[in-house]
Amino acid sequence: MRTLKNWVLADKHENGIRLTVDDRHTLEVTVLEEALFRVSLKKDGQWRLDRTWSVAPTEDVPFEGRSRDDFSGFTRPAFSLEEGEAITLSTTTLRLIIEQPLTMRWEAKQADGNWRLVAEERPTGAYMLGIRDHRNSHFLLRKPGEKVYGLGEKAGNLERSGRRFEMRNLDAMGYDAKSTDPLYKHLPVTLTATPDAGAFSVFYDNLSSCWFDLGNEFDNYHKPFRAYRALDGDLDYYFAWAPELIDLVKGQTKLTGGTAFMPRWALGYSGSTMAYTDRPNAQQELEGFLSKLSEHDIPCDSFQMSSGYTSIGPKRYVFNWNYEKFPSVETMSEKFSDAGLTLIANIKPALLQDHPRFDEALAAGLFVKDSEEDTYADAVYWDDSGAHLDFTNPDAVNWWKAGVTEQLLKKGIACTWNDNNEYEIWDDEARCHGFGHEIPISVIRPLHSMLMSRASLEAQQAFSPDHRQYLISRAGCPGIQRYVQTWTGDNYTRWDTIRYNIRMGLGLSLSGIYNVGHDVGGFSGPKPEPELFVRWVQNGIFHPRLTIHSWNDDGTANEAWMYPEVLPQIRAALNFRYRLTPYLYTLTWLATVDHEPMIRPTFLDHPRDLRTYEETDDFMLGRDLLVANVVEKGATGRTVYLPENETGWWDFWTGEYYMPGSEITLPVTLDSMPLFVRAGAIIPLSEGANRANAAADVKRTFAVFPVPGAFTADSTQYEDDGDTMRWKDGDCRVMRFKLSGNTDSLTLTTASEGSYKPPYSEATFILPYGEKRVLEVNGEPASNDVSLPL
């Protein structure tokens, strides 16, 4: 590795400048938006990989990738350029100063009109490149008071300072949510809150394995620094600034293509366990699940079939059906459909050497190839070894789509669960087809999980073009959220896992991946004790993905009814999830159209309240609900800090109002699910639905949470048929609420946009128990026992 030092200005053009560095390399700065610059370093003037699959600011990229030299989708505003011993590029918002030796400083214009230093690189070496390889490094200085977030589903605390993290996708079975690293996903983006200059993010558009050192490393020859080091690929990064962190989060999601708008039923409880499909009578076990839902009065919308349905002996073989376990797949699918549940099947991208179709795929050249021999790249996989399909090969993509269609979709299995797709091929020079331009696996390893998911999506879309699709993927990279929902993998059953999975989910959300969840109850290890199981379910209902999943050491399955003594608490939690569905569906729509994160740390909505930056188990669900789950064994009380805002907070359950900035301690029992509502919010609730689809939502309540005294506040609710693409053509309904009040009365007016007609025609409006003012809705008096037309 060599430190880059000397540069000269080689070219200036309408989008930025090019520098020649150390007489051989090209460094380009591109002004993409007022507060978004891109810095690209080309070794010897050439890209290592001339395409990206992550950057998609306005539309999805081609399957074969988007040229790194494509600037479409960005506004590319005018900028000023000052030349001298240093070079300064400025927009109206962001200013970059480049000095000798090669070092950059970033300044941003503040609300007072003054420029302030936001970030600066290490002056004793900011950039390094490999001499005989493609390693690359980038160094920034660390500043007192900075708080660093991002990097996706990392273990431990949400704030990342002082630690070192690795991006190298692994099948981290039974990981410790407090300490294990690396994990499943490759999300190389950090977001930094500065003490006095707003916030900045750095997104490295590189799919090679890399490390982030955020203060773990010290070196006598340098000021305190933070490092990004990659084993391969291009040093190509996007630097963004914003006054608040939430703007960076939304910007990262937009930059990488936005969030898929999935069907409404996907917000319902999804059953799953490896135990059912591993048993000899697997079909009977799955069909029995339907009977038990009815027997125990449990609402449910789908079931995720683990890979045991593909087994031959103890091993798994994708697109193979074990007809001894499943004598009539179509009959089973029909029973689930008749019950209103969608089946989702686990699929894996590698074929073991004794797979019935291995020789067929090998002869067709569908696998990632060995680095030297004219054969496949051998890799350990599921207690054996095998070959991974190469999703940069169009023939492999087509083979995969055919398998999804013939073996799943045509048998009534509507959706795919794309699993075990970390691509642990450690022959770094193993060869990928690259759509006709060969690429070493080390440069694009996480890409395969994204292209696998995209191939599955396209198969589903072709088979059922009029419906929105649901998919899951465990591994991924920036852009995976365009296609799938994800979760934090094979967690271990212990109390700490709930606490740190909350932080993992928030880390994903801050990194642009919103539609997330966790294996409720714990996947690996012992089955959860009753109290732990209840608390896990009570936490799971407040996340976008709600799945009880397990592979317990004793062969048992985590089921909603597994402990009769706590079944009332489990049922109450799941029923409340279904009651919240209209609110959750509005959040999914806002995530799609406005890039709003669904789950979010409390500081994201309260950036001026310094206490919200402290580590906490609390989080926001949308901007209106503060979730304070009980995550400690034997808890009899729960202390909650209610952030400083302009309105205050209501206890959802008791109807008691609290001033902003209050710290309260609530008594809790096993029934407790502490939940607070931002005063001024209106929460739409579904009453009595046992499915999350739109047709089941026939009775609506609006819970109105006013602000004391004189005020005005706005809220939004979104609805559509929950299934088709017609929402894009206006077949939807956006309800706008304007709530106002004084010391004596409250007034609510509603206005609707769009042509969609929901199943309900009237609604009940309710107030907290502690609110005594009279509510008038659209000119009519309302009370807790009166329904009004909408």
pLDDT in tens, 564-618: 999 999 999 999 999 999 999 999 999 999 999 999 999 999 999 999 999 999 9
Mean pLDDT of the chain: 97
User: How buried is 77 (Cβ within 10 angstroms: 0-12 exposed, 13-18 middle, 19+ buried)?
Assistant: middle
* Total number of residues shown for the chain: 790
Find out whether 666 and 640 touch, Cβ atoms under 8 Å.
Answer: yes
Find out whether 187 and 152 touch, Cβ atoms under 8 Å.
Answer: yes
Q: Is residue 661 part of a domain?
A: yes
Residue 537 CB contacts under 8 Å (≥ 6 apart), including other chains: 520, 521, 548, 560, 569, 570, 573, 574
In the predicted structure, residue 708 carries a pLDDT above the cut 80: yes
In the predicted structure, residue 788 carries a pLDDT above the cut 80: no
Out of 205, 239, 255, a domain closes at: 255
**CATH number (domain holding residue 139):** 2.60.40.1760
User: CA-CA distance, 115 to 113, in Å (whole number)?
Assistant: 7
Average pLDDT over every residue of 141-159: 98
CA distance to 57, 166, 261, 696, per residue, from 265 (Å): 28, 36, 12, 10
Question: Do 38 and 168 belong together in one domain?
Answer: yes
Q: Which of 477, 337, 351, 327 is nearest to 414 (CA)?
A: 337
Bridge-based pairing state of the strands 485-486 and 517-520: unpaired
In the predicted structure, residue 198 carries a pLDDT above the cut 60: yes
Question: Do 638 and 706 belong together in one domain?
Answer: no
Q: What are phi and psi of 270, to 5 degrees?
A: -120, 120
Q: Which of 164, 244, 231 is nearest to 613 (CA)?
A: 244
User: CA-CA distance, 745 to 735, in Å (whole number)?
Assistant: 22
Q: Is residue 570 part of a domain?
A: no
Question: Do 159 and 14 belong together in one domain?
Answer: yes
Average pLDDT over every residue of 525-544: 98
Q: What's the token pair of residue 767?
A: 């107030």
In the predicted structure, residue 383 carries a pLDDT above the cut 90: no
Out of 659, 676, 693, a domain closes at: 676
Would you place residue 204 in the very low, low, confident or very high pLDDT band (cuts 50, 70, 90)? very high
Question: Do 627 and 761 belong together in one domain?
Answer: no
User: Nearest-5° angle of CA 46, CA 52, CA 55?
Assistant: 130
Question: Do 659 and 774 belong together in one domain?
Answer: no
User: CA-CA distance, 309 to 301, in Å (whole number)?
Assistant: 20
Could you list the residue range(s) of the whole structural domain that residue 770 is in? Answer: 682-789
In the predicted structure, residue 726 carries a pLDDT above the cut 90: yes
What pLDDT, on a 0 to 100 scale, did the predictor assign at position 604? 98
User: CA-CA distance, 537 to 530, in Å (whole number)?
Assistant: 11
Would you place residue 784 in the very low, low, confident or very high pLDDT band (cuts 50, 70, 90)? low
**CATH number (domain holding residue 707):** 2.60.40.1180
Question: Do 101 and 29 belong together in one domain?
Answer: yes
Average pLDDT over every residue of 140-153: 98
User: CA-CA distance, 591 to 718, in Å (whole number)?
Assistant: 12
Express each pLDDT in 3-30 by its tens digit: 999 999 999 999 999 999 999 999 999 9
Question: Do 748 and 639 belong together in one domain?
Answer: no
Would you place residue 782 in the very low, low, confident or very high pLDDT band (cuts 50, 70, 90)? confident
What pLDDT, on a 0 to 100 scale, did the predictor assign at position 787? 53
Q: Is residue 83 part of a domain?
A: yes
Whether omega for the bond prior to residue 101 falls within 30 degrees of 0, making it cis, is yes
Question: Do 665 and 712 belong together in one domain?
Answer: no
Average pLDDT over every residue of 227-254: 98
466: left (phi over 0), alpha (psi -120 to 50) or beta: alpha
Question: Do 624 and 657 belong together in one domain?
Answer: yes
What does pTM read for this prediction?
0.97
In the predicted structure, residue 783 carries a pLDDT above the cut 90: no
Tell me which long-range contacts 437-443 makes (C-beta under 8 A, separation of at least 24): 439/49, 439/392, 440/232, 440/371, 441/368, 441/377, 442/208, 442/209, 442/231, 442/232, 443/48, 443/49, 443/207, 443/208, 443/232, 443/233
- Residue identified by tokens 């607070």 is 676
Q: Which of 494, 490, 563, 566 is nearest to 526 (CA)?
A: 494
Q: Residues of the chain with pLDDT > 70: what percent?
A: 99
Question: Do 144 and 10 belong together in one domain?
Answer: yes
Q: Which of 347, 277, 314 is nearest to 549 (CA)?
A: 277
User: CA-CA distance, 535 to 545, in Å (whole number)?
Assistant: 16
Q: Is residue 288 part of a domain?
A: no
- Residue identified by tokens 């060969």 is 438
Find out whether 698 and 691 touch, Cβ atoms under 8 Å.
Answer: no
SS (H, E, C) 13-60: ECCEEEEEECCCEEEEEEEEECCEEEEEEEECCECCCCEECCCCCCCC
User: CA-CA distance, 231 to 445, in Å (whole number)?
Assistant: 12
What pLDDT, on a 0 to 100 scale, did the predictor assign at position 789? 54
Side-chain-side CA neighbours of 14 within 13 Å: the count stands at 4
Q: What's the token pair of residue 684?
A: 């739409």
Count of beta carbons in the 10 Å neighbourhood of residue 789 = 9
Out of 658, 676, 694, a domain closes at: 676
What pLDDT, on a 0 to 100 scale, did the predictor assign at position 106? 98
Encoded amino acid at 292, one letter: K
Question: Do 637 and 760 belong together in one domain?
Answer: no
User: CA-CA distance, 349 to 475, in Å (whole number)?
Assistant: 12
In the predicted structure, residue 786 carries a pLDDT above the cut 80: no
User: Which residues on neighbouring strands pair with residue 89, listed in sequence order?
Assistant: 81, 96
**Strands (DSSP E) along 134-259, which ranges?**
136-141, 147-150, 164-167, 189-193, 199-204, 210-213, 225-230, 235-242
Q: Is residue 497 part of a domain?
A: no
Find out whether 560 and 639 touch, Cβ atoms under 8 Å.
Answer: no
What pLDDT, on a 0 to 100 scale, did the predictor assign at position 617? 98
Question: Do 122 and 188 belong together in one domain?
Answer: yes
User: Residues 188, 420, 444, 407: is their CA dihedral positive or negative?
Assistant: negative
In the predicted structure, residue 790 carries a pLDDT above the cut 60: no
Q: Helix (H, G, I), strand (E, B), or coil: what is residue 613?
A: helix
Residue 688 CB contacts under 8 Å (≥ 6 apart), including other chains: 698, 699
Q: Helix (H, G, I), strand (E, B), or coil: what is residue 659?
A: coil
Average pLDDT over every residue of 216-239: 97
Find out whether 618 and 641 touch, Cβ atoms under 8 Å.
Answer: yes
User: CA-CA distance, 745 to 729, in Å (whole number)?
Assistant: 39
Q: Helix (H, G, I), strand (E, B), or coil: what is residue 521?
A: coil
Q: First CA to last CA across the chain, in angstroms?
A: 67
Q: Is residue 31 part of a domain?
A: yes
- Residue identified by tokens 């995976």 is 480
In the predicted structure, residue 756 carries a pLDDT above the cut 70: yes
Q: How many domains does the chain have?
A: 3
- Residue identified by tokens 């001339």 is 50
Q: Is residue 43 part of a domain?
A: yes
Q: Is residue 188 part of a domain?
A: yes
Find out whether 32 and 68 touch, Cβ atoms under 8 Å.
Answer: no
Express each pLDDT in 441-500 by its tens digit: 999 999 999 999 999 999 999 999 999 999 999 999 999 999 999 999 999 999 999 999
